[in-house]
Structure 1
Amino acid sequence: MTVSIKDFGLTCGSLPSGMLNAITDVAGVQVGHVTMRDGDINTGVTAILPHGGNLFRNKVRAASEVINGFGKTVGLVQLDELGTIETPLLLTNTLSVGICATALIRQAIRQNPDVGRRTGTVNPLVAECNDGPLNDIQALAVSEAHALAAIEAAGEGPVEQGSVGAGTGMTCFGFKGGIGTASRRFVLDGHDHHLGALVLSNFGRAGDLVLPDGRRPDARRPSEAESGSVIIVMATDVPLEHRQLKRVARRAGAGIARLGAFWGHGSGDIAIAFSTADPVDHDEKRGLVPVQVLNESRIDLLFQAAAEATQEAVLNSMLASPAFKGRNDARRPSLAEWLRANV
């Protein structure tokens, strides 16, 4: 069973979590991993699918927020121009962004032979963090086959967390980081809705971490420059248009700030938010289409959910990761072990 903050009596905010406390509490969202651990190779790919159908033909509304832009991505320019996602979203290491983008393009062409010929080209979506301290990143070990395997492994239900997939070689506040997730549940017009976050955590200086109860764990590593990266992916079943999604994505910054990060010069801190409600039909023929959106006076609920779920997802990414030895015998301690020793 995955360790989470609840096992240590910690809470992030006041909204209740969903049943799975995961991004997959948003119906239809799927997550899959490919984990690579072999000697100095400690890396992988994580795939997030907004739904299990053909994303190019049935796009989801989306937006991104670049909190600090020291990062390498593919797809954010068009995402923010058109406000949609049309491929799975892949997370990986910095030098594997290109190969993952190629895998997404090939998959989209297989599913949609008209791509680039009788209809538009496809916009692959890939984001990264640098796992170089624990992984031989120059080996370029991730292949197209790994990217596709992560997509094929994606499913609904509980999400594996910690040192898995893209999170295999990541570090957070001097502890072992990785993949983490959390969700929040709230009511609109008498119906339950969810916002879930999945993070790839690889940021924060050792000694800067602040737990929800105010403690500041010591990772027993010297303080370094605030660097690394964090990618936050948020999903919701609330119908939101692009501007509203961008506002929600921005609140991921509140979640990582609560943990003690200040978005340093060398950190790539990027949030992507999408809604599974009100999808966009690629082959729509109508000139005017109806759109349902959230009443702006209710958006604080989603802002709060975004901040709380992001904060908890980062902590879960660390708590689910045991102590780790990587490339050149580099070691990262476990936050869970620190908490057990400092009850």
Structure 2
Amino acid sequence: MLRFAALLLLAAPALLGAQVRARALGLAPGLFATGTNNAITDVAGVKVGHATVSEGDSLRTGVTAIVPHGGDLFRDRVPAALHVGNGFGKLLGVTQLRELGEIETPIVLTCTLCIWQAGDALAQWMLARPENASVRSINPVVGETNDGQLNATRSRVGIGRAVRQALDAAAPGPVAEGSVGAGHGTVMFGWKGGIGTASRVLPASLGGYTVGVLVQGNYGGVLQMAGVPIGQLLGRFAFQRDVAPGRPSGPGDAGAERGDGSCMIVIATDAPVLARNLERMGARAIMGLARTGSSASNGSGDYVLAFSTNLRVRRNPDATVSTNDELGNEAMSALFQAVTEATEEALYNALLMATPVSSRAGTVRPLPADSVRQLLRARGIGR
């Protein structure tokens, strides 16, 4: 029997190696300031936990959990919405989320064939809480990307335990990024991918609200950073076998050559926003994804989950009348800008903070930050 090893990476990103966040290279998309940690946890009350599964020569996967607040999640529900950029994937709990416009559990991210085990473990974790002793139905929300290039994804050993560990480890503050948790086995643009996060804080004149984004990057395309065609300049990009047949092959397998893969994006905000406008915020995250060079290929599952933690829009399932006080449509434009900026930067962080991961399938190395720095500087960008 295989032994299970889960590594809980809870400290600041510096623990993950010598990689750098995007801002260390001068990549700071957009106009608005970041929060204290430049992370989804800058939205007050939001917590993130990881459990990384690395065992033998084949298991390279994990779980990342996003907890919207520290209270009773089932009875103090947050409004939520889903936007689908391209639906080649699996997302557990989506029909009830869309029907009711709310979630009643944390959001868990994991590997593509792990979502059913993860959903069961998440439901058990919720049902075991004392305040849920009389609850008879739970709708766990679980997203995934396919980390099968590095991970023996059919195995699914230890995922239930990893879910419980990630949930129990969830904490505010700095969020570990890169090859950790649900990002341990992922690949982006042929380089090592992973978990990334970023945040934006609106000026007081625009409401002073915070938007945080966390991504599980596992997709392809033609990488660009601040408009610089990094993938082409480094000789690794989708469709290069067709447009540059004389050059060495870049991303690897046929799926990567077409830009296939997936990306899960989770948005949190403290702005009082309900499901309709949360879905509109989700659509803007796809714009941030596109800025990095994704065209949402046929084989890419690109999903955005968005929720609001604001007390004015919380939901109680026993309430017969809902009297929510939400932002009007005209107040949404700044939040759209913030989402686009934070998503783009979170995806850069997922790439730049990744560390090498090896399995019996080989080794996937991270994007070379020094080369990126030189290419950006040559165009007057960065540090």
Q: Decide which structure has greater strand share.
A: 1
Whole-Å separation in 2 of the counterparts to 1:86 and 1:103: 15
Residue type of the alignment partner of 1:60: V
Partner of 2:54: 37
The equivalences for 1:2-41 within 5 A come to 3-38=20-55, 39-41=57-59
Secondary structure class of the residue paired with 2:288: helix
Partner of 1:170: 186
The equivalences for 1:215-294 within 5 A come to 215-217=229-231, 218=234, 220=236, 221-222=250-251, 224-277=257-310, 278-284=313-319, 287-294=320-327
CA RMSD of aligned residues (A): 1.7
Shift of 1:240: 0.6
Shift of 1:191: 5.0
Secondary structure class of the residue paired with 1:192: coil
The equivalences for 1:71-82 within 5 A come to 71-82=89-100
Shift of 1:183: 0.4
The equivalences for 1:13-162 within 5 A come to 13-38=30-55, 39-111=57-129, 112-116=132-136, 121-162=137-178
Whole-Å separation in 2 of the counterparts to 1:190 and 1:244: 16
Shift of 1:202: 0.3
Distance 1:189 1:340, change over 3 A: closer
Distance 1:12 1:254, change over 3 A: same
Structure 2: stretches of 5+ with no match in the other structure: 1-13, 237-249, 378-383
User: Alpha-carbon deviations, 1:139-175, whole Å to 9, x = none?
Assistant: 2123312111100000000000000000000001111
Whole-Å separation in 2 of the counterparts to 1:128 and 1:45: 9
Secondary structure class of the residue paired with 1:151: helix
Whole-Å separation in 1 of the counterparts to 2:283 and 2:64: 22
Structure 1: stretches of 5+ with no match in the other structure: none
1:210 equivalent among 197, 221, 224: 224
1:70/1:267 contact within 8 Å kept: yes
Residue type of the alignment partner of 2:125: Q
Shift of 1:273: 0.3
Shift of 1:107: 1.8
Shift of 1:51: 0.6
User: Alpha-carbon deviations, 1:245-266, whole Å to 9, x = none?
Assistant: 1101111110011111110100
1:322 equivalent among 355, 359, 380: 355
Residue type of the alignment partner of 1:42: R
Whole-Å separation in 1 of the counterparts to 2:25 and 2:305: 29
Distance 1:37 1:64, change over 3 A: same
Shift of 1:275: 0.1
Whole-Å separation in 1 of the counterparts to 2:120 and 2:339: 31
Distance 1:219 1:276, change over 3 A: farther
Residue type of the alignment partner of 1:233: V
The normalised TM-score by structure 1 is 0.93
Distance 1:142 1:66, change over 3 A: farther
Whole-Å separation in 2 of the counterparts to 1:142 and 1:340: 39
Q: How many residue pairs align between the two structures?
A: 335
2:62/2:159 contact within 8 Å kept: no
